[in-house]
Structures are given as structure tokens and as C-alpha cells.
């Protein structure tokens, strides 16, 4: 859809029908036609090549059997109790030390630091609420 100056109007498609969901391009359709019915034979060949020492085929087969693990649980790690902002600093230092020692992965350290940041924001909001209550009390007492 275009405006009076011939420009497309933001948020309005020039082709509202669009490409149907699940539609495939010609190259994909041709490849699927060639492979039709050959999945079993191709899988067997990949396994044979892997068993013969082809590292690419071996990697392909192993990735299908056991996909790469994206995350590991942190076991045996005791975090300090967090009762106030000062405890967060100790916890952050502890995570930094464990990361430097190789006890935890960078992604795990980032997740833990994210948790600590949420704690910090909670303490900050609680403190601000208390200050506001005190100020409101002082103002109300004067009036």
C-alpha cells in the first residue's frame, strides 16, 4: 500500500498474501527430490565412513547420537548467604575466584552474577522505599 507520494506506508505490506508458510524454494525442492527415499542408505554410508576413520562423518554421527551439552549444572558449590549489599560483594569475589581457578565456566559465572545483580536491585529498591517512607513521615509531621 502506498501513500499519495508513491511511497510504501509503514506497517502495510505491498504483498499482503505473501509467501505461504512452509513454501520451499526451487533449489530445496530439487535437493529433496534427489534425496527422496535415500535417507537410510545415506545414514548407513555416513556410519560406514565414520567407522573407517572419516573424522567429518564421525563428528556428524556423534552429534546425532549425543548432541553437544550446552550447560552443566554447578554441583558442590556453596554460595555465601546474601542478606545485604555487602554480602553481594563477597559473592561476586567468590565467583571471580572460582572462574579464575577454572572451577566454573564463563557462562556459569555470568548466570551467577546476573542472580547477584537481581539481589542488588532488590536491596536498592527496598532501601529507596524506606527512604521515601521516612521523607513522607517527616513531611507529614511538619504539616
The helix/strand/coil state of 2 is strand
Residue 6 and residue 64 in one domain:
yes
Q: Compute the distance between CA of residue 97 and CA of residue 95 in angstroms, rounded to an integer.
A: 5
Looking at the fold, whether 64 and 121 belong to one and the same domain comes out as no
Residues 50 and 90 in one domain: no
Cell numbers linked to 43 = 545414514
Is there a single domain that holds both residue 14 and residue 58?
A: yes
Residue 73 lies in a domain: no
Classify residue 78: in a domain, yes or no. Answer: no
Does some domain include residue 5?
yes
Same domain, 64 and 90: no
The model's pLDDT over 40-88, given as tens digits with 9 standing for 90+, comes to 888 899 999 999 999 999 988 888 888 777 777 777 788 888 999 899 9
Would you say residue 57 lies in a domain?
Answer: yes
Q: Is residue 34 part of a domain?
A: yes
Question: Looking at residue 100, what is its pLDDT?
Answer: 95
Position 121 scores a pLDDT of: 95
Shared-domain flag, residues 42 and 97: no
| Span 84-103, pLDDT tens digits | 989 999 999 999 999 999 98
Residue 62 lies in a domain: yes
Domain that holds residue 32: 1-68
For 119, the grid coordinates are: 539481589
| Position 29 confidence tier, pLDDT thresholds 50, 70, 90 | confident
Q: Bridge-partner residues for 8, per DSSP? A: 2
Q: Are residues 13 and 63 in the same domain?
A: yes
User: Over the stretch 101-136, which tens digit does the pLDDT of each residue have?
Assistant: 998 989 899 999 999 999 999 999 999 999 999 999
Residue 32 lies in a domain: yes
Nearby residues of 5 by Cβ (< 8 Å), 6 or more positions away: none
Q: Are residues 61 and 104 in the same domain?
A: no
In terms of domains, do 90 and 138 share one?
Answer: yes
Which of 108, 87, 88 has the alpha carbon at shortest distance from 99? 108
Amino acid at each position: 500500500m502506498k501513500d499519495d507520494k508513491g511511497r510504501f506506508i509503514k506497517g502495510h505490506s505491498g504483498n499482503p498474501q505473501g509467501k505461504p508458510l512452509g513454501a520451499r524454494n526451487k533449489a530445496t525442492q530439487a535437493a529433496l527430490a534427489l534425496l527422496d527415499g535415500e535417507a537410510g542408505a545415506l545414514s548407513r554410508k555416513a556410519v560406514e565412513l565414520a567407522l573407517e576413520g572419516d573424522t567429518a562423518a564421525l563428528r556428524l554421527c556423534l552429534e546425532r547420537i549425543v548432541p553437544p551439552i550446552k550447560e552443566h549444572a554447578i554441583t558442590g558449590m556453596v554460595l555465601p548467604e546474601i542478606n545485604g549489599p555487602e554480602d553481594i560483594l563477597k559473592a561476586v569475589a567468590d565467583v571471580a575466584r572460582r572462574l579464575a581457578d577454572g572451577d566454573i565456566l564463563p557462562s556459569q559465572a555470568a548466570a551467577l552474577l546476573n542472580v547477584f545483580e537481581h539481589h542488588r536491585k532488590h536491596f536498592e529498591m527496598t532501601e529507596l522505599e524506606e527512604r521515601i517512607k521516612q521523607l513522607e513521615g517527616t513531611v507529614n509531621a511538619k504539616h
